[in-house]
Amino acid sequence: MHVQSPSELSEGDPFGAATLPYGIFSTPDAPDRPRVGVRYGDHVLDAAAAAAAHGSVHAELLAQPTLNALMAAGRPVWEAVRREIRGWLQEPYFLPLDGVTLHLPFEVADYVDFYASEHHATNVGRIFRPGMDPLTPNWKHLPIGYHGRAGTVVVSGTDVVRPQGQRKAPDAELPSFGPSLRLDIEAEVGFVVGTPAPAGTPVTIGEFREHVFGVCLVNDWSARDVQAWEYVPLGPFLGKSFATSVSAWITPLEAFDTARTAPPERTYPLLPYLDDSAAEPGGIDLRIEVRINGEAVSRPPFASMYWTAAQQLAHMTVNGASLRTGDLYASGTVSGPEPDQLGCLLELTQGKGPYLADGDEVVLTAWAPGADGARIGLGEVRGRILPARTA
């Protein structure tokens, strides 16, 4: 059932030999045997089969039903496996992408969501806290973040049922209950931790590459009406916890080495643990596209983010918190300075809506420049809204 290697990739295919993202797939003839695959064009390399056939020492890692064992193995193994996979691209271990089932690629340990776009935080602050300074006094001194619900992270392609919850109109005396009337998206970039870190040993900015395995797209679905009513004083909870969608493919961090960019200039000097002036450029020139029902509605530029993924990791661990394999942290909504670069409907419609309707399908895609005109892709995140399940 395997096919020959895909003969030719179209020019600019974001899943060429410089990308090679990892995922977990199964086939109709062996639905109970999910295993590691690598995307190449519109095919999947059966990495488990190739590794077994070659007697690779990594065959067991690649036969697992999640990426966690590979992710826990650490950067030297990640690089060795990537070299092996490059050597298998001309061999007959490919399956057509549309013939396989893709699974949640890793078991999520903790999920943290940041808030790292100055444009997004400013726009949202204006809408949620009118008349006040849109950026809180702490915003430019630390990457603000919070923990989300790991158990409701789902893989791209999973339908999202419209959540129900409490919301209160500003002029209403009491809250009411029902399906969210302001269901929104948040286009984000996620970073997946491979190598764990014990409690009490903060991860420095320079150690970022040792701990982060790869990158994915994230749609942090948000019920704005629920969120607005619940979030003071302890932050977002049910407005977010019903579902968070991630790519089926995790692109290795090093694939973006050609796309590193300097983050924006900082307004204030940073405390030493966040100071990245001597480190490799912390930004990534990822160009995201948001499509709703096939229509491109926004193109958020990830390079515009104020806080970088390395700074976020340093911040998350500076208090001594440990890292586990499978920890996922997302950038927060990516919004650029222009009206067609905003990462959520709240901003795109200036708080007025319309928001998502039942049946709407949202697709996020992204790519970054590689060498010689190549494109480095992130796996898409696709999700369709189903009507609320009212009793």
Active site residues: 120
Regarding 190 and contact with a second copy (CB under 8 A), the answer is no
Tokens 């918190």, residue located: 321
Instruction: State which of residues 64, 321, 349, 384 lies at the interface with a second copy (CB under 8 A).
Output: 321
Regarding 272 and contact with a second copy (CB under 8 A), the answer is yes
Cite the beta strand spans of 194-255 per DSSP E. Answer: 212-219, 222-223, 244-246, 251-252
The Cα 76–Cα 80 span in angstroms is: 6
The Cα 227–Cα 182 span in angstroms is: 10
Regarding 131 and contact with a second copy (CB under 8 A), the answer is no
C-beta neighbour count of 17 within 10 angstroms: 14
Instruction: State which of residues 82, 126, 168, 260 lies at the interface with a second copy (CB under 8 A).
Output: 168
User: Please, are residues 351 and 343 in contact by the beta-carbon 8 Å criterion?
Assistant: no
Regarding 31 and contact with a second copy (CB under 8 A), the answer is no
* Order of strands across the sheet that contains 22-27: 94-96, 43-46, 30-40, 22-27, 101-103
Instruction: State which of residues 16, 37, 236, 377 lies at the interface with a second copy (CB under 8 A).
Output: 236
Regarding 233 and contact with a second copy (CB under 8 A), the answer is yes
Regarding 226 and contact with a second copy (CB under 8 A), the answer is yes
What is the C-alpha end-to-end distance of the chain, expressed in Å? 46
Helix ranges (DSSP H) in 40-156: 47-53, 59-62, 68-72, 75-87, 118-128
Regarding 149 and contact with a second copy (CB under 8 A), the answer is yes
Regarding 36 and contact with a second copy (CB under 8 A), the answer is no
The tokens of 137 are what?
């006094």
CA 242 to chain centre: 17
Supply the minimum distance, in Å, between the C-beta of residue 310 and a second copy: 17
Instruction: State which of residues 9, 231, 254, 289 lies at the interface with a second copy (CB under 8 A).
Output: 231
Regarding 330 and contact with a second copy (CB under 8 A), the answer is no
Q: Name the segment binding a second copy (CB under 8 A); options: 52-60, 98-106, 169-177, 358-366.
A: 169-177
Chain contacts with a second copy (rule: CB under 8 A): 109-110, 115, 125, 128-129, 136-138, 141-142, 144-152, 161, 163-166, 168, 174-177, 199-202, 223, 226, 229-239, 241-243, 268, 271-273, 315-316, 318-324, 327, 389
